Amino acid sequence: MSDLMKQSPLGTYVEHLKKGELAYQVNKDTNKPFFYPRAIAPETGSANIEWRVSKGLGTVYTTTAVHYKGEAPLNVAMIDMDEGYRLMSRVEGIDAMDVKIGLRVKVKVIPGDEKTLPFPVFTPAGDAK
């Protein structure tokens, strides 16, 4: 069992992001990846969990363009990572409406500051397999 007195799942995730890495967990009993980070593996409750660093490549599963007043439309998307888990993020570097389902993307970490934690976003990956 992970020791929550010493380290939290989010804390470990953030430590990886600070190094420019997108990390995720795998249930070693079943070899199933999962996200978001947890203290136990979902479905089995196993504590036999391994942290892994993602290769950072994924595909847009679905997408929306959020219209805030006085701002350019903001992309929000769900990304299916090649390792087999999904997370919410956004695709940057192209117009929000040009983010299409099936688009291949690669991760980029937005560094945090005193107020906000670092978080991963994505950019188009070209033909990256």
Binding status of residue 90 toward other proteins by CB under 8 A: yes
Binding status of residue 18 toward other proteins by CB under 8 A: no
Residue 96 or 107: the one with the smaller Cβ distance to other proteins is 96
For residues 75 and 99, is the Cβ–Cβ distance under 8 A? yes
Which run of H or E residues covers position 62? Answer: strand 57-66
Binding status of residue 74 toward other proteins by CB under 8 A: yes
CA distance 112 to 58: 23
Tell me the closest approach of the beta carbon of residue 94 to other proteins, in angstroms: 14
Q: Which two tokens stand for residue 81?
A: 């990572």
Q: Which residue reads 């847009």 in tokens?
A: 60
Binding site for other proteins (CB under 8 A): 10, 35-36, 61-68, 73-74, 76-78, 86-90, 96-97, 101-102, 110, 116-117, 119
